[in-house]
Chain A
């Protein structure tokens, strides 16, 4: 059966397009399986660079994100890292955050148009990533110089001591905290997911530094949040007929391989590696988005800049974004390789000493 597709909505699939989507899907999956999120941010601009309309790119990306998160969550649940209750409590407030985030986006879109909306997204990206990513990276460096074992942050310890009804105990995370302190973290996760499509950049550090959950359980439980939000978002987009299932299936083919490898990686490396990867990616992506800002400022008439420079900065910005993802994947694979080598050496030594 040969059906002509609407060329405004569906791109032609070439071999190069398929390979690009598969590879980005694999690397994105690897990073998501390891840090709980962060793999999807390259896919939307990546698909748009292939000519996919923005809404179809967002919808198709989201449609691949929730099954990937589901598979990653199941895998990490088997390793005893997922706190389902924590994920679901966070997902509930994140759902509200998504709705508020979309409302704010619409208000900005009506007031300042597409360029204003893009500028708001970029400013949010840079502000959140520099502040949160900078702190995560600083903390990771501090931990890696020490024992590599995470201490419960001071803020989280203070909040856990406040007995404000209703108190919730998260068994796998081994944290008892008031519901009222989980709500802002979940809400901010949803807001960020609606704004920059990667809620985990707030969700995971929020669970670590505000609630006092360990890095492993935070990144694993983030997959539960990503699944719940992704499924809800996909139903919404699919009802409007915005999903290009061909793109989703190709990305999913790569990301299901990657997400499982990333999940395996969390059991092999030190816990601090999660913070190192997350902090590195966040800081590099912040640079990428900062380079995209002059274009939107020029479109709003707030900056006078040569269009040639804007075009170059746009390309450099996308290149840096891809580099951030590739660097994250390289750190994960490098750490896994080193850990496996050390395990093999230890096993050989044990065998030698027994002989």
Chain B
């Protein structure tokens, strides 16, 4: 797993992504009717809704990810695999049980 963020780092990132997400949503819903009408024109305009959802995935997805980390809801790290230690075996010696 990649480098894990501390709660404080996640909080800072959550705020940054949150502001970006609010700005993107604000811009899109400021002129919601005009934007919706343009996205529904079809043809080459079909790139608009697709670009919009990719942008939202990045900013709002970043916000959501950091929100759960900041709240302390993290994935469980995979169990650490125990490396078998190489110990030198005692040499077998011939003994005489007589």
Contact = CB atoms under 8 A, between A and B. Distances in A.
B65 A245 contact: no
Interface string A1-26: 11111000110010000000000000
Contact of B37 (A3, A71, A249, A267): A3
Given A78-B1, A253-B25, A245 B57 contact: no
B61 A244 contact: no
Interface string B60-73: 11001101100001
Given A78-B2, A238-B50, A252-B57, A246 B36 contact: yes
Interface in B36-69: 36-37, 39-43, 45-50, 52-54, 56-57, 60-61, 64-65, 67-68
Contacts of B33: 2-5, 10
Given A5-B37, A249-B28, A252-B53, A343 B65 contact: no
Contact of B40 (A1, A234, A244): A244
Given A4-B33, A78-B1, A240 B42 contact: yes
Interface residues of B, number: 39
Contact of B52 (A1, A70, A249, A261): A249
B82 interface: no
Contact of A63 (B28, B49, B60, B65): B49
Given A67-B57, A79-B75, A239-B43, A10 B36 contact: yes
A240 B33 CA distance: 18
A249 B2 CA distance: 29
A1 to B, nearest CB: 5
B60 A256 contact: yes
A31 B25 CA distance: 24
B52 to A, nearest CB: 6
A249 B56 contact: yes
Interface in A48-76: 63-64, 66-68, 70-71, 75
Contacts of B43: 239, 241
Contact of B46 (A4, A235, A253): A235
A248 B51 CA distance: 13
B15 interface: no
A34 B18 CA distance: 24
B49 A243 contact: yes
User: Which label, helix, strand, loop or mixed, suits the secondary structure of the A interface?
Assistant: helix
A194 interface: no
A257 interface: yes
A69 to B, nearest CB: 10
A70 B60 contact: no
A260 B50 contact: no
B23 interface: no
A260 B61 contact: yes
A333 to B, nearest CB: 11
A242 B40 contact: yes
Interface residues of A, number: 46
B31 interface: yes
Contacts of A248: 49, 53
Contacts of A70: 57
A348 interface: no
B53 A63 contact: yes
Contacts of A78: 1-2
B40 A241 contact: yes
B25 to A, nearest CB: 7
Nearest to A70: B57
A330 interface: no
A168 B41 CA distance: 43
Contacts of A63: 49-50, 53
A89 interface: no
A215 B52 CA distance: 33
A268 interface: yes
Nearest to B41: A241
19 contacts: A63-B53, A66-B53, A67-B53, A67-B56, A67-B61, A78-B2, A79-B1, A241-B40, A243-B46, A244-B36, A244-B39, A246-B36, A249-B29, A253-B25, A257-B67, A263-B75, A267-B75, A267-B76, A339-B76
User: Which 7 pairs from chain A and chain B are nearest by CB?
Assistant: A241-B42, A238-B46, A267-B75, A67-B57, A245-B39, A3-B34, A3-B33
